[in-house]
Structure 1
Amino acid sequence: MTDQRQHETDLSAFPHYQPRRFVLEGADLTDKAVVVDLHKALLSRELRSGEDLEAWIGDLSELTAAVDEAGSILYVRMTCQTDDAERANRYKAFMTHVVPAVRPLGHALNAKYLAAREQFGAAGPRYEVYDRTTRMQVRLFREANVPLQTDLSLLSQEYQTLCGAMTVTFDGKERTLPQMARYQHETDRDVRQRAWQATTDRRLQDKDALEALFDRMLALRARVAANADFPSFREYSFAERNRFDYTPQDCLAYHDAVEAVVVPLWRDIQQRRRERMGLESLRPWDTSVDPEGRGPLKPFAEPSELINGCAEVFARTDPQLGRQFAMMRDAGLLDLASRKGKAPGGYATTLAEARRPFIFM
């Protein structure tokens, strides 16, 4: 398996989208003292006019982007190689020292902003979304939740490390679980079953550890919600994620619609699949293979072929989209290959100060 560290992009090397005017260039934003002092400087600044407030907002935005980017880089590096102790420790240090120190200061800055906005008058639609989000952040903050949120972040890291270590030996090679998915498209049913069983058995090896981890997270989440005066973590999460335009009840109504309309259709499709494959019963390893017995499609063999193929598709679809994707490819802002030690799942994050995206799959 390849070592990601041999050809990894230095995400901290990208230039800022605009020159800093508040945070010093070269400031170590993984250093608790540095970050705390910057927040305190903004907190102590006197605001005497709407113009002062505008300048203050700009400096706050710059600081937030700089600290967010520092944290994002640590998170990306950790998830790209969860078995690297140095990466894990640096991310853990940021989450246990910097973030807990910043949360109360961030709350105080939000409160300062809202008070100044009240003093100097509304800013119109330009700040409407920002004001709404800031009011929600102030409403949600509880000092008692700061250590609980730190614990939840570390448990999430533990989950990623557990899953990143999952591999199986199949056909004479060590393979990650995502790499095993391709065998579900093979026409040989025995191969599909053996691959499915090997993958499932490997997951079950860690079932007790994962169950214990999820139980700890469940209890912590319930405490976070209760501390913030929410009846459940679901309601708290909707508020925390600024889901102002739909509710948990809307989601439940959607679930009911899927159950009533989509599930019967899906069952019909699976029944037709079983009949076309000539099987008495459909098993989990029968749901991805071509029901006509045709071999699996192999549009690419290496991640670079996938990336370059997508670049061509995007360029033909829209030249600007093609240029943006090519920039990400050339800048090393894509991590699409499966390997041992890589965290499960996928995400897109932003290098907030460089204003560049990073995609992890």
Structure 2
Amino acid sequence: MKFSEFSYKRPDLAFAMAQMDTLAHSIQNAQTVSDAKSAFLSFEKMAEEIRSLSSICYVRHTVDTRDRFYEQENAFWDENLPLFMDKQLDIYRAMLASPLRPALEKEFGRLLFDKMEIDVKSADPSIIPLMQEENSLQTQYQQLYASAKIPFDGKTLTVAQLAPYKQNPDRSVRKAAFEAEGRFFDENQEKFDEIYDKLVKNRTEQARRMGYENFIPLGCIRMKRNGYGVLEMESYRKKIIEEMVPAVCELKKVQQNRIGVDSMQYYDDTFLFPDGNPLPFGSSDEILAAGQQMYRALSAETAEFIDFMFDSQLFDVLAKEGKAPGGYCTYIPSHKSPFIFSNFNGTAGDVDVLTHEAGHAFAAYQAAKQNLLPEYADNTLEACEVHSMSMEFLTSDYHHLFFADQTEKYQLFHAESAVFFLPYGCMVDEFQHIVYANPEMSPRQRN
């Protein structure tokens, strides 16, 4: 079945949540492991359908944020997913408090209960209205970003479509492209700042109602981190400063000499070669076809996976007006189907996305084949990036399918870009820590 044929109908969540109340009661009062297991698996089956409909709606909304029907459906989920999650946590609390827990841990594994313990610390009924508002604010931000119509080169472009100009060999074109993008954000700065300011205050209030000093520990919990926390993140950032920043500075000097500029400017940062960055040859369809050829050659498992993705049309990759920014992989459990969303724009980033997001998708596809519980199939976010980043490098023997005589240039570009990302990623992380540790800061102070 193709993704376009996946049916969508708004579920009766009131009925589903009433059933979840009954199942939580059944787990609480179960006299046997079999009874508790049966009630829990009944919840999982019901939740699978609800999560699937939510995912289908999200994909179709982000593919075209102007679609009125899915805009309304997305608003429905923004309001109702926190209510559903609250009932899910009731199920988890019943499992955690069950006198049968030792036997249930043997049945399902201790990690399931560790994950439940983390999740029940992430929310409670008192913050549901705030969670609903948080969802709405995130949607507003995404729609504002997707609304970009940037006049440039006689065209009207989205932020994603402007990207090739920001890597143009002509330095004046790069500068003009960055300035054109900047004008969009300058013109909408007040709106972006207002949304973000509301998000910071909202999340801070959620955290304080939950008994946390600020949003930082609650944010870690919501990322399902069970092996490290704030101290470990600070230690990691310190190591990056000590060991990677000097290396990046040296690489930037090499880049400066390579591209032949007297001083590096912001519009030179992602321009790595004097004759231009490596570009994949062919149309978007040809890039996808090369990707299919690559995964067919990589292994029997990836061949099966990529053919399933193509047969079911589980991609939407072209940048277009009204489409949400960025790229992601999501999963539709009732169809055992990953879905890859991207914004191809003719740069090397198209191949990066095809390998990166396919790493996520392949992990989801393999987990589905094992019929794992969702709590096991859904990885914590740092583990997810092992799947995606490793796939970027595991496919290196096949980069010639996309770049031909520019393959070596692309591999250097890809390796350097991965190193450059390390301090950038830590900078973003530290910025978030500063913002949420100081929620009283004004938008001007944050900027």
Between the aligned partners of 2:264 and 2:97, the Cα distance in structure 1 is 62
Amino acid at match of 1:89: Q
Opposite residue 318 of structure 2, the aligned amino acid is A
Pick aligned residue for 2:17 from 16, 23, 36: 36
Q: 1:59 to 1:314 in 2, by over 3 A?
A: same
Unaligned 5+ segments in structure 2 are 343-447
Q: Shift in Å at residue 211 of structure 1?
A: 0.7
Taking the aligned partners of 1:43 and 1:171, their CA distance within structure 2 comes to 60
Structure 2: how far apart are the matches of 1:299 and 1:120? 55
Letter in 2 for 1:186: N
Query: Does structure 2 conserve the Cα–Cα contact (< 8 Å) formed by 1:49 and 1:120?
Result: no
Q: Which has the higher contact order (CA 8 A, sep 6+)?
A: 1
- The reply on whether 1:299 has 2:280 as its aligned counterpart is yes
Counterpart for residue 221 of structure 1: 203
Q: Report 1:115-264 matches (<5 A).
A: 115-118=97-100, 121-124=103-106, 126-264=108-246
Corresponding position of 1:347: 328
Aligned residues: 339
CA distance in 2: counterparts of 1:114 and 1:146, whole angstroms: 22
Distance 1:330 1:205, change over 3 A: farther
**Higher alpha-carbon deviation: 238-247 or 267-276:** 267-276
Secondary structure class of the residue paired with 2:318: coil
Q: TM-score, normalised by structure 2?
A: 0.71
Supply the distance in 1 between the matched residues of 2:266 and 2:309 (Cα, whole angstroms).
Answer: 37
**Structure-2 separation of matches of 1:33 and 1:247:** 36
1:334 corresponds in structure 2 to 315
Q: What is the CA deviation profile of residues 120-139 of structure 1, one whole-angstrom value per residue up to 9, with x for unaligned ones?
A: 74432732111112223334
User: d(CA) in 2 for partners of 1:198 and 1:223?
Assistant: 37
Instruction: Confirm or deny: 8 A CA contact 1:148 1:220 kept in the other structure.
Output: yes
CA-CA distance at 1:44 after TM superposition? 4.4
Aligned to 2:346: none
Partner of residue 84 from structure 1, selected from 40, 64, 67: 67
After superposition, the Cα gap between the structure-2 partners of 1:285 and 1:140, relative to the gap in structure 1 and judged at 3 Å, is closer
- Identity of paired residues, percent? 21
Alpha-carbon RMSD across the aligned residues, in angstroms, is: 2.2
Distance 1:119 1:275 in 2: 63
Amino acid at match of 1:337: L
Query: In 2, are the aligned partners of 1:81 and 1:342 still within 8 Å (CA)?
Result: yes
Q: 1:142 is matched by which residue type in structure 2?
A: D
Aligned partner of 1:10: which letter?
E
- Partners of 1:166 and 1:176 within 8 A in 2: yes
Letter in 1 for 2:37: E
The one-letter code of the counterpart of 1:53 is: A
Q: Deviations over 1:90-119 (max 9, x none)?
A: 1102222x3243233223222222233547
Query: Who is 2:77 aligned against?
Result: 94
- Please point out which of 285, 309, 312 is paired with 2:293: 312
Match of 1:22 in 2: none
- Residue 280 of structure 1: how far off its partner (Å): 2.2
Give, in whole Å, the separation in 1 of the partners of 2:318 and 2:221.
Answer: 34
Contact 2:37 2:104 in 1 (8 A): no
User: Partner letter of residue 313 of structure 1?
Assistant: M
Q: Are the equivalent residues in 2 in contact too, given 1:50–1:120 (CA < 8 A)?
A: no
The verdict on how the C-alpha distance between 1:286 and 1:111 changes in structure 2, with shifts beyond 3 A counting, is: closer
SS of residue paired to 1:349: strand
Greater helix proportion: 2
- Following the alignment from structure 2 to structure 1, what is the Cα–Cα distance between the partners of residues 265 and 102? 66
Query: 1:162 and 1:301, CA in 2 relative to 1: closer, same or farther beyond 3 A?
Result: farther
In 2, Cα distance between the equivalents of 1:144 and 1:38?
Answer: 22
Q: In structure 1, the residue corresponding to 2:65 is in which secondary structure? A: coil
Cα distance, 1:341–1:267 mapped onto 2, change above 3 Å: same
Kept in 2, the 8 Å contact 1:47–1:53? The answer is yes
Segment drifting more, 135-144 vs 120-129: 120-129
Aligned to 2:411: none
Residue pair 1:72, 1:351 contacting (<8 A) in 2 also: yes
Between 167-176 and 112-121, report the one with greater CA deviation. Answer: 112-121
**Which residue is equivalent to 2:55?**
72
Q: Hey, what's the Cα distance between the residues in 2 that align with 1:42 and 1:148?
A: 26
Q: Bigger CA drift: 129-138 or 222-231?
A: 129-138
Choose the corresponding residue for 1:275, options 254, 257, 263: 257
3-state DSSP of counterpart to 1:245: coil
- How far off its partner does 1:235 sit? 0.8
Measure, in 2, the Cα distance between the counterparts of 1:338 and 1:328: 19
1:184-214 Cα offsets, whole Å, 9 max, x none, are 3322222222112111212222111111110
Normalising by the residue count of structure 1, what TM-score does the alignment of the two structures yield? 0.87
Which of 316, 325, 332 lines up with 2:306 in the alignment?
325
Moved more, 102-111 or 200-209: 102-111
